[in-house]
Amino acid sequence: MEIYKGIPVSPGVVIGRVFVLDEVRQRIPRRTVVAEQARAEVARFDQALESSAAELDSMRVQVELELGAEAAKIFAFHQGMLRDPSLSAPIRARIERELVKAEYAVAEEFRALSDRFAKMGDSSFSTKVDDVWDLERRILRRLVGEQRSRLQGLDQPAVVVAHELTPSEAASFPHGKVVGFATETGGRTSHTGIVAHAMGIPAVAGVARLADHAADGDEIVLDGDRGVVILNPDVERVASYRRYIERMRVFGLSLDELRDSPSVTRDGVKIALHANIEFPREARVAVENGADGVGLYRTEFLWLTSDHEPTEEEQYEQYAEAVRALEGRPLTIRTFDLGADKGLGALATDTEPEQNPFLGLRSIRYCLSNLPMFKRQLRAILRASALGPVRVMFPLITSTTELRHAKMVLRDAMEDLAEEGQPFDRDISVGMMVEAPSAALMATTFAREVSFFSIGTNDLVQYVLAVDRTNEQVANLYTAAHPAVLMLLKEIVRAGRRQGIDVSVCGEMAGEAEYVMLLIGIGLRSLSVSPAAIPRLKRIVRTVEIDQCERLARRVGSFDSERQVLAFLREQVRTIIPEAFDGRAVEEP
């Protein structure tokens, strides 16, 4: 049995048999042509580009019908890359300069581009490597002839294991034959991962050396919730996962009954459960899962699936769709959180990579450095606020200067819309993410400036513990259970209470069953999680009492290590709601 740790990119757990997709990139030999033939080779390349663009257009339409508009945008992004002169011009130049065949020039230029992306420290660049190879293969097929994929011979359900998968390969999986996949490359924001989400199949990326050790027919457990892959699991492990899958199936059926039930504790205290979303269609999913609203709309995904900066009108349409889907429930829109692990979307290829992007020009810093772009987004948000309850939230605020500057730009946008006669909510709630230690330590000061806090535990944990959460070498040090993190959470909640503002948690911590009672116990009355997690959290909320949670929080406050904290919290949840606890027996690799 071998246990591998990767990056969870699409949720769900499946047990199956391995199908190794070992298609390797073709080795294109260097063949030269005489000078008179160079023009013909350029024409061959241009024809291949044109045919590839037409094929992508057809695929975009098909994917939109089958998987939705968000997944289809990936192939519109590919079309934009094909039209980009910075991609095609060097290929034409190489053909004419070196007098080589078109396919060789394509292979060499795409390899160089892929290498540049892969070597960049920012994961948002490296996750675009799959897009580069997708386009290369598409063009080469037009130049050297079609090649039959091994997937076409798949005759039974399987878990695909591959070094890499392109978005086109994932979208072309035979219907019902691929029940999950794991790759050695990729990440949460890769386009292949977005396709997996749209298809509703579990997926794990960044699983080092998995393809080297897996063989066709091997038994495999793919845990897309935790990012764990188990190759050739022992009998006990398989039995444990089968029990878990069945328990979650039955538990899921029981949760359906909770959709319209209020999220209140046994002693009658309301705990608001909101949803985190990336795309407007997910707002409908949130409502279907019983959400009280959307606590975090990650708008930067508009960039990550586009080949250009989203216009004000494009943004407005997206926000308006989400507002309408919520049918009067509140929508909290976070302004662009670009940079760090999410990159700069359509601007990525125009920007020099930073040495340490998590400490660089990201989030509110990037927006304040690009005021026209920032103002366009704020205008779109304000226009959407005329359609229903909308709140605006600024990410990664570290100083009062940043916050006041952002609020000033918001006021400017309001004045412009008022002059134009555009309707908007003049009393729109303005809040901020608390995800930097400076913001947490100055929470009392910030609480006087905003209407609400949303604690982003993903970034807060990594900054407090000095652990890059995307670095697998130190992943074992990243934990929200660290006493220092819990101390800061308490202080943020107290500061919000003293100033009478709402405080919620929107990081991954809020969606994990073992932390729910603790968060309620330290005073939080609002959690924002993935839509799928809402029914399970509602079951926990409706099973506990406030006094019970407060006693638990006091006990946790006496511990001095994260191991003590986690062991105690898991024991409590197992005792109170055993079926809701994610109790798979999985050791950390």
Is the alpha carbon torsion for 527, 378, 189, 123 positive or negative?
Answer: negative
What is the structure's pLDDT at 14?
Answer: 93
In words, the CATH class of domain 263-576 is: alpha beta
Between CA 284 and CA 282 the distance in angstroms is 5
- pTM over 0.85, yes/no: no
Q: Which two tokens stand for residue 551?
A: 């006693």
Parallel, antiparallel or unpaired: strands 390-394 and 331-334: parallel
Between CA 231 and CA 222 the distance in angstroms is 9
Q: Three-state DSSP class for 373?
A: helix
Between CA 71 and CA 279 the distance in angstroms is 10
Splitting the chain (589 residues) into consecutive groups of 10 residues, what average pLDDT does each group show? Answer: 87 90 68 89 91 85 74 77 85 92 89 74 58 82 66 77 80 82 77 73 88 88 90 91 83 73 95 92 89 94 74 95 96 87 47 69 91 96 98 97 98 97 97 97 97 95 85 76 96 96 93 92 95 87 95 95 93 75 47
Catalytic residue chosen out of the listed positions 191, 197, 274, 482: 191
Count the neighbouring beta carbons within 10 Å of the beta carbon of residue 383.
22
Q: Which two tokens stand for residue 580?
A: 């809701």
Please return the burial class of 26, using the count of CB atoms within 10 Å of its CB with bins 0-12, 13-18 and 19+.
Answer: middle
What is the structure's pLDDT at 499?
Answer: 95
**Contacts (Cβ under 8 Å, ≥6 apart) of 255:** 535, 536, 538, 539
Between CA 278 and CA 530 the distance in angstroms is 10
Of 168, 170, 213, 182, nearest to 7 by C-alpha is 182
Residue 497's φ and ψ, nearest 5 degrees, are -65, -45
Count the neighbouring beta carbons within 10 Å of the beta carbon of residue 210.
23
Between CA 342 and CA 300 the distance in angstroms is 8
| 549 is annotated as an active-site residue | no
DSSP state of 311: P
- Render the burial of 41-65: b for 16+ CB within 10 Å, e for the rest: bbebbeebbeebeebbeebbeebbe
Longest CA pairwise span in the chain (Å): 85
| Residue 478 contacts residue 462 (beta carbons within 8 Å) | yes
What is the structure's pLDDT at 365?
Answer: 94
What is the structure's pLDDT at 318?
Answer: 93
Report in angstroms the alpha-carbon separations of 341 from 190, 231, 244, 270, 357: 11, 28, 32, 35, 8
Q: Which two tokens stand for residue 560?
A: 């001095």
Between CA 320 and CA 376 the distance in angstroms is 15
Helix (H) and strand (E) counts in the chain:
24, 16
- Strand ordering across the sheet containing 228-231: 2-5, 228-231, 219-223, 13-21, 158-162, 178-183, 203-205, 7-10
Report in angstroms the alpha-carbon separations of 360 from 229, 343, 355, 364, 556: 33, 11, 8, 11, 35
Residue with tokens 């979208």: 171
Report in angstroms the alpha-carbon separations of 481 from 352, 406, 433, 510: 36, 32, 20, 12
- Say what angle helices 191-199 and 129-144 make with each other, to 10 degrees: 90
Catalytic residue chosen out of the listed positions 197, 482, 506, 549: 506
| Residue 277 contacts residue 295 (beta carbons within 8 Å) | no
What is the structure's pLDDT at 470?
Answer: 62
| 191 is annotated as an active-site residue | yes
Give the residue extent of every domain in the chain. 2-23+149-250, 35-144, 263-576
Between CA 339 and CA 393 the distance in angstroms is 17
Q: Which two tokens stand for residue 576?
A: 């109170």
Between CA 296 and CA 454 the distance in angstroms is 9
CATH, domain range 35-144: 1.10.274.10
Between CA 363 and CA 358 the distance in angstroms is 10
Report in angstroms the alpha-carbon separations of 416 from 160, 168, 174, 422: 53, 43, 51, 9
- Architecture of the domain defined by 2-23+149-250: 3-Layer(bba) Sandwich (3.50)
SS3 percent helix, strand, coil of the chain, rounded to 5, is: 55, 15, 30
**Contacts (Cβ under 8 Å, ≥6 apart) of 150:** 21, 22, 23
